[in-house]
Structure 1
Amino acid sequence: MSIEAPAEVLAGLDHWRQLPAAQQPTWPDRSALDAVLAELRERPPLVFAGEADALRAKLAAAGRGEAFLLQGGDCAETFKESTADHIRNKIRTILQMAAVLTYGASLPVIKMGRMAGQYAKPRSSDVETRDGVSLPAYRGDAVNGHPFTAADRAPDPQRLLGAYTRSASTINLIRAFTNGGYADLRLVHDWNRGFTSNPAYARYEVLAAEIDRAMRFMAACGVDFDALRTVDFYSSHEALLLDYESAMTRIDSRSGIPYNTSAHFLWIGERTRQLDGAHVDLLSRVHNPLGVKLGPTTTGEDAVRLMDKLNPDGEPGRLTFVTRMGARTVREALPALVERVTSDGRPVTWVCDPMHGNTITSPSGYKTREFATVLDEVHGFFEVHQALGTVPGGLHVELTGDDVTEVLGGSEKVDEASLARRYETLVDPRLNHQQSLEMAFDVAEMLRAH
């Protein structure tokens, strides 16, 4: 039987329209946008309330140190790369990282992709200027095109439908892979096929052999392996485009509670976490587990007021703080923040984003990151929590399953000259497959020590 939501709940879902909304496109044709939003409201949900509830319980466990969140994927997904091969490679990379973390640290790993909806990005400026020509900034394929032409850069609401369609096909493929046997732990060797030999892969093969031996031991003991054939794999993205996120909000027929059905987990970015802003208001009214990105200028009072807005009752697993401090400042900026939140008493899951605070520009003009610097922020994150007796609950990284050359360093020693070889990102640089594995081994050691 369908349950009607109270009128005040329905009215509240549109309250965000009365508030300041940062980082929104300037749509040239409001009637065209309204027509697209009306169609989106009629489209099926991409995720379901029960799945979001299950994730919330797992994130609560991560906050207590009983699990660990691994969240990874593209900086910004593109329509062009929403292919089976690209999706499979990202899933495979996350599964391999999770196997390393699970086996190395003896902790359940929550697997979550920055996938199936990460089609929009905040930008530092509304316009981009080249050779005296100014055009709207590229805000992701859900909004406009990357080529620097007036036609491509004009925000087009039809792209929101394109984002929905590709998100749906991505989620379908994720479910097929993770529930159809591809994620079976007995296939840990198969996940490594097709990659070239280097230290990260060799180390992974050693671990895979150890997992094989453990599997054979359990089989000899009569263990039923059916549960190992499938895994839960959750979708997430930054809830940036408010018109889209609002259109994808539904009332759960069982409980009458609103859920955002565009992803299991939504986060609010560092640039859109204004306490009196539209993003915080809209997400405060849905029952999904939520994240907020916190940069080095965030104060303890800022964090507590976000808790007041987004999780006033202190529901475990509801709120995740994703810190993005930068390697040079994490050890100085993070302790006071963690201490103030901990003193409040309401539970929070702490996750490290070591990517966004460590972006540099190479001498040749490429936007890049140093792998060693990225790892240093993760080390700083763990050191702070170790010192305070609090829980490092997860890792949030931009990665791809392909052998790109976008981040400097790692065992393949990607250098300045290598960047041009396979620099494919349209926005921020991502860890490639072997760098992702290297990070997993390093983090597994940190978890074991913690």
Structure 2
Amino acid sequence: MPPSPSPCPSSGEDSGEASDDSSSSSVGAPINNLPPDALHNILLRLPLRDAVSCRAVSRPLRDSLNSPSFLSLLPTLRLLLLRHPRPTPNASSPPSLHAFDPSTRRWLLLPLQFLPSQVTSFSPVSSSPSLLYLWLDPNPPSTKSLAVCNPLSHSYRLLPPLGSAWSRHGTVLAGPRGTLLVISELAVMCFSPLQNESQWMKHALSLPTKPRSPVLIKETLFTLCDVGSAWRSQWKLFSCPLAGLGLGFGPRQGGWAPVERHMWGDVFEILKRPRLLPGSGGRRLLMIGGLRSSFAMDAPCSTVLILRLDLERMDWDEAGRMPPEMYRCFTGIGEVRDPLAGPGAVTVGNNKVKVFGGEGRVWFSGKRVRGKIAMWEESEDGGTGGEWSWVEGVPGYNEGVYRGIVFDAGFTAMP
């Protein structure tokens, strides 16, 4: 049996503060006699989780680590947050999220008990440094609300309400300086504190077809569109600067435009049902899909391929290819199927797979692969291949397919 997830570092009463007895017994410890500047210099060399855990050691350490200005200097902790298919909290299970720390390969529990008591369920949908965005289901049932919170400081704020259709069909993307986008098939709703903190602004998308897996890299939106026919898909990449949506990022200029180069050739033809994820460092764009065995319309897939677009040089290369033995775990022994097929695809059995992540790591989950997810890590030098491995002991697994988002937990921003 996998070990139970350990609690993630938090703030306040739930952080395991030291008792008065333990504080008094450690007053004479040499570290407690250090000047505040020297003590802060030591603590700043620790990872976030270790530094926050030091609050349970003694009262002087707790006082040093309760300063918001000091906590904001600590580096963030990059986590993968899982979205359970049916995340419904109850009295015996307080609101929380399962998180995976890739640096230690440990599962953590991120408490969310500070959310309003009338919330019956919640789902994380996007993040920016230190801030997490969630859809909240209220009780009694009504329109879902979007909330922004800092799980470590136990603080949250509700955003202006949106219609129910946006929560069911919209893709939520967090941008710089508090900007939030909810993208649907025909329009994008924009919230920007730079312009108006009380309402959303609606903009037409002006794309040829429904956007697929839109992502935001720095201040530019990227998405895929199927511009083919009912008999054959033909994918194209489109981009749009945030300034093109009139969000206060300088003079309004530009709009959606195809991103294409003659030298790319058939790069969009070799993948089945591709999707996009942000690459590492804000300089790369990842495209993941099933690798076609041929250019025939109904050609099966032989594995999963990860392509990488360098946004400075504007050229593609192969970043990773799922090993055959790992791919067979998603498709079933003896079957050659597309693991990225949508719910309407004709397949034998159930091999639906979700792809999520970004920033140098991609995760894959599926119904056939119970209790674990596959992980790809980009090589440090940006070379081809990367590292493939299994992440075991996925907590709370029952039925359904997990999804997930990357979250940089920290104190650098507050709602």
* TM, length-normalised to structure 1: 0.26
Q: Is the helix fraction higher in 1 or 2?
A: 1
Q: Is the strand fraction higher in 1 or 2?
A: 2
Instruction: Report which of the two structures shows the higher radius of gyration computed on alpha carbons.
Output: 2
Higher relative contact order (Cα pairs below 8 Å, separated by 6+ residues): 1
* TM, length-normalised to structure 2: 0.28
